[in-house]
Amino acid sequence: MTCTYDITSEKVTFTLLSGDPASPITILVVSDGFTSDERDLFQIACSSLVYRIENEPWYTIKLSSGSSSSSVGAENLAIWSAFVGAELSDDLMETPSGNDYPVGPPSIFGVALEDYNSADVEWLYTSKDECVDRVRDLFVAKFKIWPDKMSILVNYPVPAGKAHGFVALSTTGGMFEDIMLHEIGHTFGLRDEYGGDNLSGEVQAILNVKGINVTSDVNQPPWSVFTKLYAKGKVYPDAPDCTKSLEYSAPWNYLAAFTGGVGYHCGAYRASAQCKMRSYPNQFCLVCTYVIISELAGNLVPLVAR
């Protein structure tokens, strides 16, 4: 399986949208889902996303270091776009299940995945991976910005469960800025805070990876070092129903152990009642904001008492 679209340097236009090219963290927004005559629409979408990012609290905060007056985001985050001039195509490709689908838009790296049956989905994701790799490699070759400092966000409607590699959104469906901000949270090491029907017995193995904002240790969560804000011993609910998700209303700076996270209704705990890592419309919680700022500033260390 190879990329279904012929991506060459002549067909890709890279634009610096915000920040300094030398910034340690780079976000590259790829125009999957836009045809060659929709460049203006893509630019509008990128401008909207940049505006949201540049007005996030974690972006605008200024750290007291030397005489610098720039925000931590402006100093450490660069946002680029990659517009791929995709033409509409009547060509067909045959999937493993024997189905024929058009090669071209609505998604330039193959058609939108909801148009495929489930037997072909993994095959198609492989193709999309290879297409994104081509764009990334062209970007690296041109600007010498290496992949380990890059988060690639692309625009096409896909199942939410696949959103960590790409972004589950369509700019025609609304709320795409919030979804992209959620995915940017993953760039900084944040875990999903929503629940689900996964078996709670598997939580410990999943949480062995980095995840400051979600933990299986209800007695000593990472955010317990925020001693003035953390309500030690408070678990919500104390006897959860593991078959459904429960929502709470609490102040932004109220930290406790709220049940539910990384796809589990039970066995995983998050710091705040609500956060963008739990539900797209919310703002980032205090702990997630701290993590993003620390990552941007290049000094992420174990949480210290605050």
Q: Is residue 3 part of a domain?
A: no
Task: Name the pTM for this structure.
Answer: 0.82
pLDDT at 103: 56
The verdict on 107 and 170 lying in the same domain is yes
Residue where a domain terminates, one of 134, 152, 187: 187
Pair (153, 222) in one structural domain? no
Which pLDDT value is given to residue 66? 55
Nearest alpha-carbon partner for 183 in 57, 273, 277: 277
Q: Count of domains in the chain?
A: 2
Domain C-terminal end among 141, 164, 187? 187
pLDDT of residue 175: 72
Question: Do 161 and 244 fall within a single domain?
Answer: no
HSE-CB at 127 with a 13 A cutoff on CA atoms is: 25
Question: Which of 187, 208, 238 lies at the terminal end of a domain, its last residue?
Answer: 187
Domain containing 149 equals 9-187
Peptide bond into 221 cis (omega under 30): no
CA of 177: how far to CAs of 33, 56, 167, in Å?
16, 12, 11
pLDDT at 275: 95
- Give, in order, the Cα–Cα distances in Å from 204 to each of 73, 262, 266, 267: 33, 11, 11, 8
Q: Measuring CA to CA, which residue among 176, 154, 213 is closest to residue 27? A: 154
Pairing of strands 150-154, 214-215: unpaired
In a domain, residue 227? The reply is yes
Distance CA 29, CA 81 (A): 5
Nearest C-alpha neighbor of 226 from the set 262, 271, 259: 271
Tell me: do 107 and 178 sit in the same domain.
yes
Mean pLDDT, the chain cut into blocks of 10 residues (306 residues total): 74 93 87 78 87 93 67 90 73 68 53 58 70 87 79 58 45 70 86 75 51 83 86 81 80 89 85 92 92 80 45
